[in-house]
Structure 1
Amino acid sequence: MIYAPRAVAAMLGIAPTTLRTWDQRYGLGPSGRTEGGHRRYQEADVEVLRRMVMWTGQGVAPASAAVLARQEPVARPDAQRAAISDETARSARRGFLTAAKRLDESLMLELAAGLIAEHGVVSAWESVFVPCLVELGHLVAESGRGVDVEHVASASLQSALRAVPRPSRPGVLSALLSCAPDEQHVLALEALGGALSEQDCSWRALGARVPAEALCDAVHRLRPTVVLIWAHRADLAQQVPLDELGARSSALLAVAGPGWAGLSLPPLVRRPGTLTEALGLVLDRVRH
């Protein structure tokens, strides 16, 4: 199919002027023209623009979104991806940290998306993303500077993880992911969500700072197979009503994050220590 600019704009729900701007500034234009010089978009052009709309809708800056829009979308694997070698992981960490310290959002997104596409979420997270985030955290703690770098890096990783396509078919909700009340760190939950999507498992995330009552209500309404709650400090973890959740739902309860270390948990609550363990816990419950 061949489309005129006005038709493409209508299909994507954007203004024709936006379409023209993306063409002029970022080169996201049509690949053909009529004999009279009128712009005409082919299916492949429209798909690139759909990705541009998706990325900008997630808050990615247009220039960075354009870089990602030209890439093929991250797809769920049909087979086991190759593990990341130590040498590849070291090289990827150097590249990502260099891009982070330059606040080069588009490069961080490109690197993160490439690692996920080639090696999968779990390997990319555990071998590259977590070590990079830890190093950036140490930089902030030791120097008191670099919060901007840490925030941009986290936002870039979040965008790359959200690009993993979710299952399209309806079905039982495999996992409900939530932060503890007043907990603002959501990136680990995004990583688990991306890994679940790769395994064709449905999931939903409630986001940051979920009040205890709202969490209980969501569990009651959605009836997920597994509920996993993240907390990075003990005072935040202690606000989670685990006993009430256990009494009101048949879901398997799990907690994750350093905030749960040393806390006494109800007997049936699980505490995976890594992304691999958390993913395995959900898959085991769903499939068996």
Structure 2
Amino acid sequence: MKKKRINSTHIYKDQSGFTLIEVLIAITILSILMATMYTIVNNSTESKDKIISEDRDALQLVTALDRMEQDFSQLYSPLYYSAKYQKKNDNGFAPRSLGSDEQEKAANPLDSYEASERFPAISTSADVIPIIQNETKTDLIFMTTSNRRVLEDSKQSRYAWVKYALRSSSEDADERREGAEYELTRAIETENIYNKEFDWKNVKEYPLLKDIKSFQFLFWNPKTEKFVDKLDQLTTDKDTPRLIRIKLVWINSDNNEVEIDRTYRPLYPYFDTEKDEKEKENARKGDQKPGSPNTPGAPVESQEEDL
């Protein structure tokens, strides 16, 4: 039996494959696709990091503004609903009328109140009046009812002392944003709030908002109908500010300045406590008798014209 001879030349001609040029073209196309995919993924990652950074900054700003709104809206002072007590021998009025015999027999218990740094006066309802301090246009100390007790049965209540202050930035100069030299701090004292003196050195303050270029407090003056930067400039409502305004220039993550101008208002409605106390004092003295023209609800005499 004869063996067939295989033609190797025929086998090589039938095998298919890529030429060197085709391989180079395929590699080039694949490189372009990989570079495009890398660019898309890299841009997406950078966009995500930028959005997260911007959201973190925006969240810090919104949280700080909301925190101030809670504190200022619940600013506490009994003068919003009760007048400040003044002794009988002062030029002001007394909370109640006592006859000469009664004054000799017994003194008003409110006369024995001793003023302190935190509570310099007392109201006619026997509530101590907390001070509102504004030594500079960037500092403010007041009492608020916005506190929330963390531990059950702890010596805390919804009353607390709060201090806002503008301080130099705690970050290093290299890490600090351009122009952001300050940070707004907040300190809160929730225990022993009725101590006579302040002791802010033992109260820890924390940065509420960083990257601040400028900041200040303003207070509404109802007499001039303008905002002033010191409580001492108010002729009325010094202890009961009706509007508290903040002006803030904040540096965002892109080193752009963001100007914020916001006004806060305590929730207490307007009530003229001194006028109310004078009316009650006059009523006690008997100046307004039932049926007199000055008495509310008294009939008004009609005036008939002569025809």
TM-score by length of 2: 0.20
Q: Which has the higher contact order (CA 8 A, sep 6+)?
A: 2
Highest CA radius of gyration, 1 or 2? 2
Bigger share in helix = 1
Bigger share in strand = 2
